[in-house]
Structure 1
């Protein structure tokens, strides 16, 4: 695989370098939850009403997850909060043993975290010109955040390069992402505070049930096509293995709590492990005892994956005793919840699960 092949769709000579530099001049700075103590604010919000009280209760439930010695925490991430400034937040949760497994979108893991681990950046949109103008400059837009498309194609290339280096056989997304983390840890990464790298180092498995719906998809397609042209074999992704492996973790873990940012496929994937375990004959498997979901989606039109946490109880997935929906844009409330939990310090006495070692 060559970068020339991947980049041939672009004619960089047509890009207005000065205009592009103007638009990509303000880097997104990721929030540091260790630098401020949100406990007084969260406690004060608990004496209010509306979303403030919901958030305080959600923070309390997350702290219960961390203080329960038998509870394993699954972090579920959908949406673009990593690009929006929460990337280091998620990394701190892994670094400080505040999550034990992760289910996320491919974009969160590849286009955002792995992308920055390669040394690239996300940028604040100081202005939003016509999107056709952005296209002419090879700038991709996520709401008010910019990504350099040329840098993103470097991410495609690197994913393909990692795939080329592997034995041609099926891999779960967890197994492939672990290879990505290993590649970064072996001196190739340019950012220590990478979720993918830290998850590899701390044996926290990451699952992306729709992995190819991301920048990784382009690199993996190129890997497969090149191998076919050579008449050789290629690696593939096994989504069934994803489901089986995460279900194995649920069975092993026993008591579990879900910290869910957004919804969609990652949310349902994590919740469905309870039902899958029952189908495999583990009728004594616990529903997820604790659950928090932060979302702006509405259940009425199916946007909330058509399921509140209470509705999920009817499917035998989640307990209604310790659950909280927080209807808020996650970058505005998640830093408060995470900082509160970090400074309360329940993570200091938690045993590390190291679930990734189940599959060695």
Structure 2
């Protein structure tokens, strides 16, 4: 009897279309920092202790960056906060001249922002079945957030199409991402895209590990197809990334870092000081301001192997104006960004337009 029941159950067709639609039914809503004023709560938190006090000081440092007319502000993003609801937050920083340079992971720029720029969405997981079931439905999971794999493959193919239009030569990730921004201006379906707004406002975006994202699949296909046809193909030049970002550091002088997470983007932006010195610019200043929001524990080296204080020993940051905030960034960045937006120091900032440096 048991075997009969098992065989009968196994023979029942599974309605995967409805099941997938059911799991992808609630879109992630990205927070709008302009819709609420976080200044009172941040001021109150600054008079508390522990992480609340740290956030208050970090927010003050970011406001000081914006108020410093000589300061170039670098936004550094690692992790999945864009997929989790901070995507429009980062876009607003670009839109309102609160950020001059972006250094991020490929996933942040391609799999999350460019993905939504093409009209796709992220979804809240209303339940989390086993991941084998998600795989059978072509649903990718980031913690409690879902992505439609079939939509993500559209990103792969779009990256391939962009690569196919370019001259066969080396490109920095900045140069290629600018082409992505241009594509969104012409074909995109979302105005509030970081990649699109960065293109329009001449804010350069660097991804030092760019192919560690959906871009990698599209670019590999581009190279393989061209190689099979005996034709030249475009390539990404990681050295150009480092050279260009270092050039910005040399030209900018005073710089401030607003870092979400750590990893390669954090080390990449900090190393520009050392690289400038190696190029003979002994007078290059360390990053004057630095804020890092992370949950990584420094005891096992997980915090990109260093706190901001430790980074000072390498000649990268100023120990006097830095703050670590040990918190999940999605829970504190809306407060920090809303506070800075409503204090309004950005209204008097000159636009840097660093992307024009490479025109």
User: Which TM-score tier does this pair reach, normalised by the shorter chain?
Assistant: over 0.9
* Inter-partner Cα distance in structure 1 for 2:281 and 2:200: 31
In the alignment, what sits opposite 1:9?
none
C-alpha distance after superposition, 1:123-147 (max 9, x if no partner): 0000000000000000000000000
Inter-CA distance 113–18: structure 2 relative to 1 (3 Å threshold)? same
Write out per-residue CA displacement over residues 253-294 of structure 1, whole angstroms, 9 at most, x where no aligned residue. 000000000000000000000000000000000000000000
The answer to whether the Cα contact below 8 Å between 1:294 and 1:327 also exists between their aligned partners in 2 is yes
Counterpart in 2 of 1:168?
168
* Per-residue deviation, 1:300: 1.3
CA–CA distance in 2 between the matches of 1:301 and 1:140?
Answer: 29
Q: Tell me how many residue pairs correspond in the alignment.
A: 347
**1:99, distance to aligned residue in structure 2 (A):** 0.4
Deviation at 1:302, TM superposition (A): 1.5
Aligned partners of 1:301, 1:233: CA distance in 2, in Å?
Answer: 45
Contact 1:15-1:137 within 8 A present in 2 as well: no
Q: CA deviation at 1:352?
A: 0.3
What is the CA–CA distance in structure 2 between the aligned matches of 1:221 and 1:241, rounded to whole Å?
A: 19
Q: How far 1:312 moved relative to its partner?
A: 0.2
Looking at structure 2, the residues matched to 57 and 145 of structure 1 have their Cα atoms a distance apart, in angstroms, of 31
Structure 2: distance between partners of 1:183 and 1:143:
30
1:275 alignment counterpart: 274
Shift of 1:166: 0.3
Report the equivalent of 2:212.
Answer: 213
1:342 aligns with 2:341: yes
Three-state SS of the structure 1 residue aligned to 2:210 is coil
5+ residue gaps, structure 2, are: 1-12
TM-score normalized by the length of structure 2: 0.96
Aligned to 1:260: 259
Q: Does the residue aligned with 2:314 lie in a helix, a strand or coil?
A: coil
RMSD of Structure 2 on Structure 1 (CA): 0.9
Superposed structure 1 runs of 4+ greater than 2 Å apart: none
Residues 227-255 of structure 1 show CA distances to partners (whole Å, capped at 9, x for unaligned) of 00110010000000000000000001000
- In structure 1, the partner of 2:178 is 178
Alpha carbons of 1:280 and 1:23: their partners in 2 closer, same or farther (altered >3 Å)? same
The answer to whether the 8 Å contact 1:15/1:136 transfers is no
Q: CA separation in 1, counterparts of 2:142 and 2:46?
A: 32
Deviations 1:91-133 (A, max 9, x none): 0000000000000000000000000000000000000000000
The correspondence of residues 117-266 of structure 1 with structure 2, limited to 5 A, is 117-186=117-186, 188-266=187-265
Q: Identify unmatched segments of 5+ residues in structure 1.
A: 1-12
- 1:8 is aligned to none
Q: Deviations over 1:326-351 (max 9, x none)?
A: 00000000000000000000000000
Q: 3-state DSSP class of the match of 2:25?
A: coil
